[in-house]
């Protein structure tokens, strides 16, 4: 048996999240069905991060064990011929047996793409979030600075979160401005369930003037979800990158280039 790693890009809009469900309407179910057909035997995978319903991925990483010998190109072409159009394998690499898509990961990057315009765009429905109100970007950036660091993020975790600890290290939270868009870049060792969408809700409350940036530290100290702003929509959320230390087999892409490659309509000029 050997271990293979795959990189996936998918539109999460048609699916009920990543994790397998009896309905079969998840990304994991669709991939495992394609793999079982491709390899002619039941096959299961482990992913780097379980995305929620409606959440997308630019470079989700999964691994599986198999006795099959195929070229990297055969893995990509063969699986994509069996997958629905909303899911695509981007690359395939043989990895060491000690590689684990989830537990070997050291850093994860999520993007939230927000269209900031008076009127919603039907052409981008499900692909980006939308905000029509005026936003104070400087206040939002001040709020972001309070969130960076190692904190107890209980105020920003879902009630269904199964993580043993609410403490996470948020290494980066940047807000980039483009032509009619805002791009939020979140980077951490790991994320709690709904953490990014809950942080987005808080940042937008600050931008709208419904919450002061300097109230965020006290909100985190309360460690209670009920005091924080509501969860924001999943539409514009993308798992952009997963980084592994000392593993040259896993391709490392510029997440901004991936975003523009797959969402060229945005033509983001980042600042």
Range 87-102 average pLDDT: 95
- Determine the pLDDT at residue 268: 52
pLDDT of residue 271: 47
Helices and strands (H, E) in the chain, number of each type: 6, 10
pTM of the model: 0.94
The Cα 191–Cα 110 span in angstroms is 10
Q: Under CATH, to which class is 2-103 assigned?
A: alpha beta
Question: Does position 264 have pLDDT exceeding 90, yes or no?
Answer: no
Q: Please pick, among 11, 29, 52, 235, the residue that the annotation labels catalytic.
A: 52
CATH topology of domain 106-238: Alpha-Beta Plaits (3.30.70)
Whether 52 is catalytic is yes
Segment 254-262 mean pLDDT: 88
| Mean of per-residue pLDDT scores for the chain | 93
Which residues partner with 181 through β-bridges? Answer: 115
Q: Return d(Cα 167, Cα 37) in angstroms, integer.
A: 40
The string of pLDDT tens digits covering residues 133-173 is 999 999 999 999 999 999 999 999 998 888 999 999 999 99
Domain 2-103 matches domain 106-238 at the CATH topology level: yes
Among 207, 254, 236, 241, which residue's Cα sits nearest to residue 112? 236
| 9-32 pLDDT, tens digit each | 999 999 999 999 999 999 999 999
**pLDDT over 70 percentage in the chain:** 96
For 105-120, the pLDDT digits (tens) are: 999 999 999 999 999 9
Confidence label for 267 from pLDDT (cuts 50, 70 and 90):
low
Confidence of residue 178 (pLDDT cuts 50, 70, 90): confident
Q: What ranges do the domains of the chain cover?
A: 2-103, 106-238
Instruction: Work out the end-to-end distance of the chain between its first and last CA atoms, rounded to an integer number of angstroms.
Output: 47
**pLDDT at site 159:** 87
Q: Residue 1's pLDDT is what?
A: 86
Task: Tell which residue, 217, 219, 123, 131, has the closest CA to residue 175.
Answer: 131
């Amino acid at each position: 048996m050997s271990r293979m790693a795959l990189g996936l890009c998918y539109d999460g809009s048609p699916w009920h999240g990543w994790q397998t469900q009896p309905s079969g309407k998840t990304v994991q179910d669709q991939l495992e069905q394609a793999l079982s057909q491709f390899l002619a035997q039941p096959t299961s995978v482990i992913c780097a991060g379980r995305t929620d319903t409606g959440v997308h991925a630019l470079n989700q990483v999964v691994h599986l064990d198999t006795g099959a010998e195929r070229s990297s190109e055969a893995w990509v072409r063969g699986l994509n011929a069996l997958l629905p159009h909303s899911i695509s394998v981007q690359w395939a690499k043989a990895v060491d047996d000690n590689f684990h898509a989830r537990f070997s990961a050291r850093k994860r990057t999520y993007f939230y793409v927000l269209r900031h315009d008076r009127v919603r765009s039907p052409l981008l429905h499900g692909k980006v979030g939308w905000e029509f109100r005026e936003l104070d970007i400087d206040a939002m950036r001040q709020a972001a600075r309070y969130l960076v660091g190692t904190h107890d993020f209980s105020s920003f975790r879902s009630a269904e979160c199964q993580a043993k600890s609410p403490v996470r290290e948020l290494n980066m939270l940047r807000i980039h401005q483009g032509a009619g868009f805002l791009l939020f870049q979140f980077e951490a060792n790991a994320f709690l369930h709904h953490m990014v969408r809950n942080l987005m809700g808080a940042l937008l409350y600050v931008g709208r003037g419904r919450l002061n940036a300097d109230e965020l530290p006290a909100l985190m100290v309360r460690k209670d979800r009920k005091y924080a702003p509501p969860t924001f929509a999943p539409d514009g959320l993308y798992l952009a990158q997963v980084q592994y230390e000392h593993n040259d087999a896993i391709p490392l892409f510029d997440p901004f280039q991936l975003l523009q490659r797959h969402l060229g309509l945005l033509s983001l000029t980042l600042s």
